[in-house]
A and B are shown apart, each in its own frame.
Chain A
Amino acid sequence: MSNLSDFISSFEENYGKLVESVEIFEETRASIIAKRGSYIEIAEILRDEYGFVIPIAGGAIDYPEENRMEMNYYLDSPDSDFIVIYRVHLARDDLVLPTMTTVWEAMSFHERETKEMFGIDFEGHENMVALLLPPDWKGGYPLRKDFKGEGVE
């Protein structure tokens, strides 16, 4: 589906109840916030029905004041002129998600990176070892907001 507003209306009509919200930002980005229960199911629908077969990346963002984190998956399709950001909200004391590598295999590296940088666990990931940090790293999770990056010994 190449047109963003067509995609949004079709998606909302068919699967609007299975997600928290669907919105457009920046004209060519669709942001879909998933519900935990239908998380993988909607991902498979995005891939098979709407053709979002190209995994661009995955990454998280930390909001300590709201006590939550957000995991984002960036998806592209060969014949659309927009991308989808598929998001899920996590409480900061319950950082466990089912892995997305069952849907998009290439999210493997991005989930490994998110695990070491934010401490989000991806259940069912086949090879969850550190990607960028050294194997003996004990300094915590560098991209969390409470990790002080500079000027700290």
Chain B
Amino acid sequence: MPEPKIESEIMRISWGPQHPMSGQTRILLDTDGEKVHKIIADIGYTHRGIEKVLENRTLIGGIIPIERMNMVDSSNIGIGYVTACDKTYGLEVPERAQWIRSLICEMGRINSHLYAFGLQAEATAYFPAVFLWTTIDREVLLDLFEELTGARWSYNHFLPGGVFKDFPEGFEAKILEAVQYLRRRFKDYWNAMIENPMFEMRCDNVAILEPKDAIRLGATGPVLRGSGIPIDMRKEEPYAAYNSLDWEVITEDACDIMARTKVRFHEIGQSLNMMEQIAKEIPEGETRARFSPFSRAPEGEHITRVENSRGEMSIHMWTDGTTNPYRVKIMPPSLRNMYVFERLAELSEIVVADIPVVVNSIDPWYLDSDR
């Protein structure tokens, strides 16, 4: 991005992309004393042209590059793409495979939200220890991922028509053990963060996003639900096994940073319940529909919408009868939330010291907004 013009009597602070808290982006802050007048986000530092890459791959070959869009939550990216492939080929996914897909998605969501807490605790600068706790606890999930999919990052476990492999032996018991452990740990997180007066001082009534503004600016995911609007793709357009699972959409009405953090907390609770239900009630059966991986994709267009840990991720896929997609339009959640972040300074008063907390409250993932 070329340097935007600076108004007179305004000081511009350029934050990132090398700052430890900024992520791979540059944020320009036009400040007047401590007060931030205007936020300009300069994204694109990690643009890799994934949409173009996908045009040059077969449909099944696209699963690998697209999961690179988000490292902590690659399962929830993969599910969107694979569901679009299912629709394109007209495949009927077996029940058991749908449940395994939901399990991997929920584990990914917990993994991602844990990472978000760690950063949030780090950004408030009072509790760097929480970042270490969440890192240790994510290991529990990564071990489960490794046993199920063979990888700790980028699982590539979803295939059109099902999943790559069934559970290894005795895996259900390990899920239940992990759920029990994580539930116990969440009480500690709750006490260390939400109940902590210092954390409250940094997060209560900061960066208010009213419901009407959240809708107008296109907010999504925990940012939208933290403003009290119950929109979640798992309920709006159920995919995988979300129709058969017992869970509810979490919302908070406070509209501030604390509300967004609480939404993530309660969503982890819901995800743990779902993991438990899947371990106990998963139906028996096939895990993959019959399908030739290099068959030509019939002509057409399909849109899938899935709920990523950061919000709605949609994929619009056009196919033209060859083995490759004609075009894949990815609509990532972080791009939408980044626009909200740019506008937050106009909606409520934000000071420079709050910026790391504010940016982490929308939980941006720049690999995902840049593609």
Known: A72-B316, A109-B335. A143 touches B303 (CB 8 A): no
| Binary CB contact string for chain A from 28 to 66 against chain B (1 if under 8 A, 0 otherwise) | 110000000000000000000000011111010110000
Would B52 and A132 count as touching, CB distance under 8 A? no
Is A19's CB within 8 Å of the partner chain B?
A: no
Q: Report the bound CA distance from A108 to B312 in whole Å.
A: 18
Q: Which residue of B lies closest to A53 (CB)?
A: B215
What is the distance, in angstroms, from A43's C-beta to the closest C-beta of chain B?
Answer: 14
Is B31's CB within 8 Å of the partner chain A?
A: no
Would B329 and A59 count as touching, CB distance under 8 A? yes
8 Å CB interface, A75-110 against B? 78, 81, 83, 85, 104-106, 108-110
Known: A61-B318, A78-B231. A105 touches B338 (CB 8 A): no
Is B163's CB within 8 Å of the partner chain A?
A: no
List residues of chain A with CB within 8 A of the CB of B318. Answer: 61
List residues of chain A with CB within 8 A of the CB of B331. Answer: 56-57, 59, 74
Q: Report the bound CA distance from A145 to B269 in whole Å.
A: 46
Q: By CB atoms of chain A within 10 A, which of B87, B236, B371 has the most?
A: B236
List residues of chain A with CB within 8 A of the CB of B1. Answer: 129-131, 135
Q: Report the bound CA distance from A123 to B148 in whole Å.
A: 52
List residues of chain B with CB within 8 A of the CB of A62. Answer: 327
What is the distance, in angstroms, from B219's C-beta to the closest C-beta of chain A?
Answer: 9
| Binary CB contact string for chain B from 42 to 62 against chain A (1 if under 8 A, 0 otherwise) | 011001010111011000000
Q: How large is the interface on A (under 10, 10 to 19, 20 to 34, 35 or more residues)?
A: 35 or more
Would A29 and B303 count as touching, CB distance under 8 A? yes
Q: How large is the interface on B (under 10, 10 to 19, 20 to 34, 35 or more residues)?
A: 35 or more
What is the distance, in angstroms, from A101's C-beta to the closest C-beta of chain B?
Answer: 11
Q: Report the bound CA distance from A61 to B319 in whole Å.
A: 12
8 Å CB interface, B167-215 against A? 215
Is B336's CB within 8 Å of the partner chain A?
A: yes
What is the distance, in angstroms, from B81's C-beta to the closest C-beta of chain A?
Answer: 16
Is A150's CB within 8 Å of the partner chain B?
A: yes
List residues of chain B with CB within 8 A of the CB of A74. Answer: 303, 314, 316, 331
8 Å CB interface, B59-89 against A? 87
Known: A83-B303, A108-B339. A56 touches B216 (CB 8 A): no
Q: Report the bound CA distance from A61 to B316 in whole Å.
A: 11
List residues of chain A with CB within 8 A of the CB of B305. Answer: 83
What is the distance, in angstroms, from B311's C-beta to the closest C-beta of chain A?
Answer: 10
Would B303 and A55 count as touching, CB distance under 8 A? no
Is B349's CB within 8 Å of the partner chain A?
A: no
| Binary CB contact string for chain A from 128 to 153 against chain B (1 if under 8 A, 0 otherwise) | 01111111000000110001011000
Between A and B, 29 residue pairs with Cβ closer than 8 Å are A26-B303, A29-B303, A56-B331, A57-B314, A57-B331, A57-B335, A57-B336, A62-B327, A74-B303, A81-B236, A81-B237, A83-B305, A85-B303, A104-B218, A106-B339, A108-B339, A129-B1, A130-B1, A131-B1, A131-B44, A132-B43, A132-B44, A132-B370, A134-B44, A135-B2, A142-B52, A149-B53, A149-B55, A149-B56
